[in-house]
Structure 1
Amino acid sequence: MSIKKKASAHWVGDLKTGLGSISTETGALKNAPYGFKARFEGGPGTNPEELIGAAHAGCFSMAFSMILGEAGLKADTIDTHAEVTLDQVDGGFAITAVHLTLNAKIPGASQQQFEELSKKAKEGCPVSKVLNAKITLDATLVN
């Protein structure tokens, strides 16, 4: 089975003064503005790293939920945050790391189960697999 999802970007102008917009086929993002200032200077708008972080946090949360179910567990809550690091490398830029922070409330889960299952989700989520970056995880089981 193969699933295909689509997104698009439109750009006008040069790198520093140009502006663009990003859209998804579902309309979740529709002409969301992005540009140099948003990406490198903290200006308004989104940027590719922020979108990758959102995708990674969402993918990880779903993978973790699935893995919990396979272990006979069900989370009350799963909250995942992703911090994506963009570094200047070899005259260009690269996403070098993603740090996931997980807080989950899972009735009946032991600390050992939680650690093993969250690690499995980190390694197995499709977004983790596509990124060529160091991916780390801090996981907190909330009781």
Structure 2
Amino acid sequence: MKTTNTASASYEGLGKSGKGHISTGSGAFSAQPYGFQTRFEDKAGTNPEELIAAAHAACFTMALSFKLAEAGHEDGSVATSAEVTLEKDDSGFKVTKSALSTKGKVAGLAREKFEELAQEAKTGCPISRLLDTEITLDIRFEG
């Protein structure tokens, strides 16, 4: 199976004074503002690291959901947040960490098994595999 997804970005003006817009090919969002102010000054809009965090949280959550289903569970819930860290070093800016925090509730499942499946999902999730960075996982579970 192969899927291809698209997104686009534009930027008017240059550097700190420029302003951009990001859209997804699916139309899930269109012409969302981004720029220096949304990235470094907490202004309204999005930024690349926020989009990576959303993608990582969604990818991991879906991967864990499938691991749970493969283990024979038919009902439950998983919710994940991701915190992506951008740092500057001598060579420029780099995403240095993605910290996942997940909460799961699956009746009849032992906490240890949930943790095992969550670790497998963390390493197998395509966005985890894409990121060349430290990935941490905090787990909260209700059986």
TM-score, with structure 1 as normaliser: 0.96
Percent of residue pairs bearing the same amino acid type: 48
State whether residues 65 and 74 of structure 1, in contact with CA within 8 Å, keep that contact through their aligned partners in structure 2.
no
Q: 1:110, 1:133 → 2: CA distance? A: 30
Deviations 1:70-113 (A, max 9, x none): 11124421110000000002241000000000011111110110
2:69 matched to 1:88? no
* Equivalence for 1:127: 127
1:1-143 aligned at under 5 Å gives the runs 1-143=1-143
CA contact (8 A) 1:7 1:24 kept: yes
Counterparts in 2 of 1:137 and 1:74: CA distance versus 1, 3 Å:
farther
Specify the SS of the correspondent of 1:5.
coil
Question: Which stretch shows the higher mean deviation, 119-128 or 85-94?
Answer: 85-94
Q: How many residues align?
A: 143
Q: Which ranges in structure 2 are unaligned for 5 or more consecutive residues? A: none
Confirm or deny: 8 A CA contact 1:33 1:46 kept in the other structure. yes
Q: TM-score, normalized by length of structure 2?
A: 0.96
Gaps of 5+ in 1: none
Q: What is the SS of the residue equivalent to 2:16? A: coil
For 1:72 and 1:89, the matched residues in 2 are separated by 46
Q: For 2:133 and 2:60, locate their aligned partners in 1 and report how far apart those are by CA, in whole Å.
A: 15
Over the residues paired in the alignment, what is the CA RMSD in angstroms? Answer: 1.0
CA distance, structure 2, for counterparts of residue 74 and residue 117 of structure 1: 15
Query: 3-state SS of the aligned residue for 2:10?
Result: strand
Asked whether the 8 Å contact 2:111–2:142 carries over to 1, the reply is no
Amino acid at match of 1:35: G
Output the CA distance in 2 between the equivalents of 1:41 and 1:109: 43
